[in-house]
């Protein structure tokens, strides 16, 4: 019976010392600012990233892509005391998605009753309620600046039930869609149901296609976040994935909620199976990075 002459620690050291002989491996570790001790724990995964990046450097188009996920390249990112690995679009997939956005410059809806929201217009917003003036001024400023700066922060708009939060932000997105922006307005609890259904229905738009749409849309509105039945999947795999991409690409992202940001954090921490404060905080930090925060307390317009 052969004995392993390497301890786990010495094998890690050996594999890492072999890997850093590759200049590309060494450059990638330096680029993500990972310490040797941290990078050592992820040697094989970082090597996978290096191999995919090398493949990309020689690629001449999506039809020739040899990576595990065509059009995407695996990339590492230091996240506290660990390294996470995320897929980034290659330049060819970015060009393709940009072309698709130009061809489909309209608002996509994931909503049970989108008629009022679909027809929302900035010209029809009620200006008589003083409680709404801060929000209205904010969206007008965003609209004026958007053509010059398409990477502005969005808005986390929270407050009383029926105060018109969704209508105001939908009006902004609809106007921007008329000017060529690709926008998505989703009722977040319904979106999660739609995504679950996509696993079992072959004639529906696929899960990956929908997630890609939400990640890459010019502007997106998560309506009524905090009203969903939270699961680890909806928080980490759906919301976390979309927000991470949009944060990295500086894409305007909007939210409406009846919860303020502290209440939303508490909601995101607790699923039926467990309580995870750390993962909730990560989502909240992404939301804070993507948005400014305004409270809208007004009369209920639904009664």
Q: Which residues pair with 135 in a beta bridge?
A: none
Do residues 68 and 210 share a domain? Answer: no
Do residues 212 and 192 share a domain? Answer: yes
Binned at pLDDT 50, 70 and 90, residue 3 comes out as very low
Do residues 79 and 219 share a domain? Answer: no
Q: How many CB atoms lie within 10 A of CB 79?
A: 11
2 found inside a domain: no
Report the percentage of the chain scoring pLDDT > 70: 89
How far apart CA 69 and CA 289 sit, in angstroms, is 28
216 found inside a domain: yes
Q: What angle do CA 106, 63, 237 make, to 5 degrees?
A: 55
pLDDT (0 to 100) of residue 162? 78
Do residues 131 and 187 share a domain? Answer: yes
Do residues 168 and 282 share a domain? Answer: yes
Angle (deg, nearest 10), helices 240-249 and 277-290: 30
- Between 60 and 200, the more confident residue is 60
Report how many domains make up the chain: 2
CATH code, 233: 3.40.50.300
How far apart CA 115 and CA 111 sit, in angstroms, is 9
Do residues 163 and 24 share a domain? Answer: no
Contact yes or no for 39/46 (Cβ under 8 A): yes
In this structure, the chain runs to a length of: 303
Do residues 30 and 135 share a domain? Answer: no
Half-sphere exposure of 31 (CA within 13 A, CB side): 12
Do residues 112 and 88 share a domain? Answer: no
Tell me the per-residue pLDDT of 272-290, one tens digit each, with 9 for 90 and over.
778 889 999 999 999 999 9
302 found inside a domain: no
Tokens of 291: 């948005």
How far apart CA 96 and CA 62 sit, in angstroms, is 9
Cα–Cα distances (Å) from 280 to 3, 33, 84, in that order, read 45, 25, 17
Do residues 110 and 89 share a domain? Answer: no
Domain stop point among 73, 94, 115: 94
Domain holding 82, by residue range, is 8-94
Domain stop point among 50, 68, 94: 94
34 found inside a domain: yes
Contact yes or no for 174/120 (Cβ under 8 A): yes
What does the mean pLDDT of the chain come to?
87
Pairing of strands 253-257, 154-159: parallel
pLDDT (0 to 100) of residue 257? 95
126 found inside a domain: yes
pLDDT above 60 (res 1): no
- Between 214 and 199, the more confident residue is 214
Pairing of strands 253-257, 291-296: unpaired
Binned at pLDDT 50, 70 and 90, residue 111 comes out as low
Do residues 82 and 109 share a domain? Answer: no
pLDDT (0 to 100) of residue 289? 96
1 found inside a domain: no
pLDDT (0 to 100) of residue 5? 47
Q: Exposed, middle or buried by CB within 10 Å (0-12, 13-18, 19+), for 1?
A: exposed
99 found inside a domain: no
Do residues 50 and 133 share a domain? Answer: no
Do residues 243 and 119 share a domain? Answer: yes
Mean pLDDT, range 212-237, rounded to an integer: 92
Domain stop point among 94, 129, 144: 94
Tell me the per-residue pLDDT of 23-60, one tens digit each, with 9 for 90 and over.
999 999 999 999 999 999 999 999 999 999 999 999 98
- 169-208 CB burial, b ≥16 within 10 A, e <16: bbbbbbbbbeeebbbbbbbbbbbbeebeebeeeeeeeebe
Q: How many CB atoms lie within 10 A of CB 134?
A: 11
264 found inside a domain: yes
SS3 84: strand
- Between 101 and 135, the more confident residue is 135
DSSP state of 205: P
């Amino acid at each position: 019976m052969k004995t392993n002459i390497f301890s786990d620690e010495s094998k890690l050291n050996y594999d890492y010392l072999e890997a850093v002989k590759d200049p590309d491996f060494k450059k990638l570790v330096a680029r993500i600012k990972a310490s040797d001790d941290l990078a050592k724990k992820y040697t094989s995964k970082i090597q996978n990233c290096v191999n995919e990046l090398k493949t990309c450097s020689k690629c001449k188009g999506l039809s020739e892509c040899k990576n595990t996920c065509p059009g995407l390249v695996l990339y590492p990112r230091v996240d506290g005391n660990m390294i996470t690995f995320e897929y980034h679009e290659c330049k060819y997939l970015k060009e393709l998605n940009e072309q698709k956005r130009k061809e489909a410059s309209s608002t996509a809806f994931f909503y049970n009753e989108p008629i009022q929201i679909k027809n929302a217009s900035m010209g029809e917003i009620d200006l008589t309620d003083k409680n709404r003036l801060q929000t209205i001024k904010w969206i007008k400023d965003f609209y004026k600046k958007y053509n010059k700066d398409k990477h502005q922060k969005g808005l986390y708009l929270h407050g009383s039930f029926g105060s018109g939060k969704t209508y105001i932000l939908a009006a902004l997105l609809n106007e921007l869609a008329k000017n060529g922006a690709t926008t998505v307005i989703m009722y977040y609890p319904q979106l999660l149901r739609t995504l679950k259904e996509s696993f079992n229905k072959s004639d529906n738009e696929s899960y990956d296609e929908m997630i890609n749409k939400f990640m890459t849309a010019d502007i997106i509105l998560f309506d009524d976040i905090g009203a969903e039945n939270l699961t680890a999947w909806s928080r980490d795999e759906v919301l976390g994935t979309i927000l991470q991409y949009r944060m990295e690409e500086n894409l305007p992202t909007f939210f409406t909620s009846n919860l303020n940001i502290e209440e939303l954090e508490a909601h995101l921490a607790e699923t039926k199976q467990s309580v995870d404060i750390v993962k909730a905080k990560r989502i909240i930090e992404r939301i804070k990075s993507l948005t400014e925060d305004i409270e809208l307390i007004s009369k209920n317009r639904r009664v």
